[in-house]
């Protein structure tokens, strides 16, 4: 199976960041005219407090760049944000691209028609979050905020952080592509079950889906299958099952993983691939109240983490800090870690998969929100998007 990679341009350095204490940025058109004098140099990912300690409310990020991308007629350019907190308005070259509200879920926009391919572009992102005062129609008690306090800090709580907390990138993708892939090692059937979402913005057609399952550590293939589907315009969800002979189960002492790669083949040419990894595992609470992993009774030894880091709070300044606690937890005999008042980062889930640590995860919205219709709406949005992000 030939694997083709989409082009990607990470927008990490060379940002500017400015506070908007009077909420004047929209009226003064900072998104078109640029940030005012005094804006600070910044990098992304980052939180606003790293550059403006003790500031809450509204801030603007700005990045000027010239794309280093090659885009053909059957491709799109997506502007992707891995994570941001809380309400984002995204502008490109003076025009609104889109908005997003949330804390833990990735989001993206099609900027193909707005991007200047061979010249300078101006990307502006307005980020806001309520604190002791409502901001943009949201109160602090309504939104997902883990165990943060509005504008103070005390033992047992977290600091109210906001900003572009995940990677920002431009990605070239085919107009017909696999946009999502869920994989599940089914211990009852010995199959790897897949749910693929295919987006077709070209024309209705029939295509082939090739699926290859390999051992993650060695790369050795263990199973493959081919399937044919008809794809109308828009989104199509396909469900597949690939049998694996004598599957090796994931366990805390043998964290064995598989890599599943799906390839979309149109007119004999592979136009897009998507890969995920998974393990064969099932954790259950029995009728007798005991815990079982893959049918074997297990004694759960669980630690917990607030997943907070020096300086950056929920954003590690040193990437090694994302992993260090879990190495020590495993070495101390724990087999599970609870992420309290906020979910793990995706890179941490992958690392715990490899270490042999089970995860008990909570969303931001599980703590401290009020009992109201809007809070319930935001809670469900946060929870369901987190499940979708981490379900494989």
CA-derived radius of gyration, the chain = 23
d(CA 229, CA 210): 11
At residue 248, the pLDDT reads: 97
As given in the structure block, the two tokens for residue 353 are 């998969």
333, with CB counted inside 10 A (0-12, 13-18, 19+), is exposed
* Alpha carbons within 13 A on the beta-carbon side of 110: 8
Task: Give the pLDDT of residue 313.
Answer: 81
Bridge partners for 224 per DSSP = 212
Whether the per-residue pLDDT at 3 is higher than 80: the answer is no
Tell me what pLDDT residue 11 has: 96
* Cβ atoms of 294 and 199 closer than 8 Å: no
The CA angle 130-365-237, to the nearest 5 degrees, is 115
Q: What is the mean pLDDT of the chain?
A: 93
DSSP 3-state percent helix, strand, coil across the chain (nearest 5): 10, 40, 45
Return the percentage of the chain with pLDDT > 90, whole number. 82
Say which CATH topology domain 176-278 has. Answer: Immunoglobulin-like (2.60.40)
Predicted pLDDT of residue 157: 85
Fold (CATH) for 8-173: Jelly Rolls (2.60.120)
Q: Which fold has domain 283-390?
A: TIM Barrel (3.20.20)
User: Nearest to residue 1, comparing CAs of 384, 258, 279, 273?
Assistant: 273
Per-residue confidence band for 223, with pLDDT thresholds at 50, 70 and 90 = very high
* DSSP 8-state symbol, 347: H
pLDDT over 50 (residue 5): no
- Write down the pLDDT at residue 70: 84
pLDDT tens digits for 137-196? 999 999 999 889 898 888 888 889 999 999 999 999 999 999 999 999 999 999 999 999
Say which DSSP state 365 is in.
G
- Can you say how many angstroms the Cα of residue 21 is from the centroid of all Cα atoms in its chain? 29
Domain boundaries, the chain: 8-173, 176-278, 283-390
Give pLDDT, residue 4. Answer: 46
């Amino acid at each position: 199976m030939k694997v083709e990679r989409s082009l990607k341009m990470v927008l990490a350095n060379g940002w500017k960041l400015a506070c908007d204490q009077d909420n004047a940025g929209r009226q003064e058109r900072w998104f078109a005219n640029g940030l005012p004098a005094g804006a600070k140099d910044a990098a992304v990912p980052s939180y606003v407090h790293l550059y403006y300690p003790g500031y809450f409310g509204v801030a603007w990020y700005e990045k000027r760049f010239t794309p280093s991308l090659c885009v053909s007629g059957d491709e799109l350019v997506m502007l992707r944000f891995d994570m941001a907190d809380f309400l984002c308005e995204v502008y490109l070259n003076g025009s609104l691209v889109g908005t997003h509200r949330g804390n833990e879920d990735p989001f993206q926009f099609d900027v193909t028609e707005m991007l200047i391919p061979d010249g300078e572009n101006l990307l502006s992102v307005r980020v806001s979050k309520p604190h002791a005062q409502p901001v943009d129609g949201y109160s602090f008690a309504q939104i997902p905020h883990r165990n943060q306090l509005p504008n103070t800090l005390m033992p047992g709580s977290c600091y109210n952080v906001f900003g572009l907390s995940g990677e920002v990138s431009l990605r070239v993708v085919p107009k017909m592509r696999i946009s999502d892939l869920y994989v599940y090692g089914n211990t009852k059937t010995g199959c790897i079950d897949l749910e693929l979402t295919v987006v077709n913005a070209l024309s209705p057609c029939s295509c082939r889906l090739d699926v290859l399952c390999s051992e993650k550590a060695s790369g050795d293939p263990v199973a493959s299958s081919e399937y044919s589907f008809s794809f109308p315009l828009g989104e199509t969800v396909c469900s597949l099952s690939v049998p694996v002979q004598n599957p090796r189960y994931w366990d805390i002492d043998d964290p064995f993983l598989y890599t599943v790669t799906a390839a979309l083949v149109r007119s004999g040419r592979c136009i897009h691939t998507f890969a995920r990894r998974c393990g064969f595992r099932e954790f259950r609470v029995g009728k007798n109240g005991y815990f079982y992993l893959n049918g074997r009774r297990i004694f759960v030894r669980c630690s917990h983490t607030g997943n907070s880091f020096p300086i950056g709070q929920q954003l590690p300044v040193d990437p090694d800090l994302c992993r260090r606690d879990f190495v020590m937890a495993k070495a101390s005999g724990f087999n599970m870690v609870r992420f309290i008042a906020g979910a793990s980062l995706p890179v941490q889930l992958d690392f715990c998969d490899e270490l042999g640590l089970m995860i008990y995860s909570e969303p931001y919205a599980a703590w401290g929100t009020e009992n109201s219709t809007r809070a319930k709406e935001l809670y469900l949005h946060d929870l369901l998007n987190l499940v979708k992000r981490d379900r494989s």
